[in-house]
Structure 1
Amino acid sequence: MTPARELPRLEVLTWDQMAGRACVWCKTLLTTGAVSAGTIRDQDGAHVLDTEVWACPPCDAGEKPN
């Protein structure tokens, strides 16, 4: 799946966004209807830091501003 827009860097995400509890773009807490926004690929030396992130339906549809 190719994200509709570029995903943010891992360093700028909140704990809730990294845990899949909040939208990757607008930070709204996700309750139902979350949509996979893709995976942020990152690495720190030998440690793989890949993180799957989620979006709320309006952000996934492009209805909310960046």
Structure 2
Amino acid sequence: MPKVSISLDAELVVEVMVLAGIGNPQDAVEAVVRDYIAHGHRTEARTASREEPLRTGRLTPPEPDQG
């Protein structure tokens, strides 16, 4: 996989390292980015499952009130 080099504020990277409990700056930032992406995929999956009936037009009508 191709690599990309970026510059980040040192305080930001140290905070990421502390919060992630990872001693290597590269690994800490990579872990945070991977977690962010995974969170996005989980959110998409949850949202898609709720929106599926709206998207496909397969809405079930409410049950008639028996009373």
Report the TM-score, using the length of structure 1 for normalisation. Answer: 0.24
Greater percentage in helix: 2
Structure with the bigger RCO (C-alpha within 8 Å, sep 6+) is 1
Report the TM-score, using the length of structure 2 for normalisation. Answer: 0.24
Greater percentage in strand: 1
Which of the two has higher C-alpha Rg? 2
